[in-house]
Structure formats: structure tokens, C-alpha cells
């Protein structure tokens, strides 16, 4: 089972969902803006994240800039995402062992192997 943290308004997120569905993957879609991750879920996601922690947040968003937070500090990233779920990078595919940011969407193919 792959959980896709999804924003249907995002073209990259829609592409990632289509890629997973076309591959026949068992996908659970979680619209993280409607159903935000809690602190424990974010901390666990960070542990599984492949790549730099700083890539988890949309650092060009005004909400992030206003916080003046350190994108390499897990506690600050979690606090920022709890306050502003919109700044979570998307899409993210998570199979429970690894979490991959789908930028580009093709990056999530690594979970299909």
C-alpha cells in the first residue's frame, strides 16, 4: 500500500496519482489539506523521507518565510507544518518504509520496484 499525500489542485500531484494508478499500485489518497498530518505522523514521515529535510517544505511560500524557521531543523519543520499544512511539499508517496517527494512525479517510481 502506498499513501499519496495529495493536493488535487496541484498538477504534479495529479501526475503522481495517475502514474501510480497506471502502474496498478495499491494507492490510498490522503488529501493532506483536508486531513492534515499530526505531529507524530510528521515526525514518522521525516524518518522515512528520502532526501533532504529542507525539501519537505515549500520554502518560497509566504507562511514559511514569515516563520523564519530553519528547514534543516526537524522540530521547526514539524511546528511549521502543523501551523500551515499548505507549505508541505507535494506530492509525497509513502509506502511505510520510505517516503519520496514526487518532484518530478517520476521519482515515486522507486517505490514500485
**Residues 65-101: pLDDT tens digits?**
999 999 999 999 999 999 999 999 999 999 999 999 9
What grid cell was written down for 102? 514526487
**Quick count: other Cβ atoms within 10 Å of Cβ 30?**
16
C-beta of residue 61 within 8 angstroms of C-beta of residue 89: no
Please give the positions annotated as active site.
10
pLDDT tens readout for residues 7-50: 999 999 999 999 999 999 999 999 999 999 999 999 999 999 99
Amino acid at each position: 500500500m502506498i499513501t499519496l499525500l495529495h493536493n488535487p489542485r496541484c498538477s504534479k500531484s495529479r501526475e503522481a496519482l495517475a502514474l501510480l494508478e497506471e502502474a496498478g499500485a495499491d494507492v490510498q489518497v490522503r488529501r493532506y489539506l483536508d486531513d492534515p498530518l499530526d505531529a507524530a505522523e510528521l515526525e514518522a514521515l521525516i524518518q522515512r523521507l528520502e532526501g533532504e529535510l529542507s525539501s519537505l517544505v515549500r520554502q518560497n511560500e509566504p507562511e514559511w518565510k514569515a516563520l523564519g524557521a530553519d528547514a534543516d531543523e526537524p522540530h521547526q519543520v514539524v511546528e511549521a507544518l502543523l501551523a500551515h499544512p499548505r507549505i508541505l511539499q507535494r506530492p509525497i508517496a509513502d509506502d511505510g518504509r520510505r517516503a519520496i517527494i514526487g518532484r518530478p512525479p517520476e521519482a515515486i517510481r522507486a517505490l514500485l520496484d
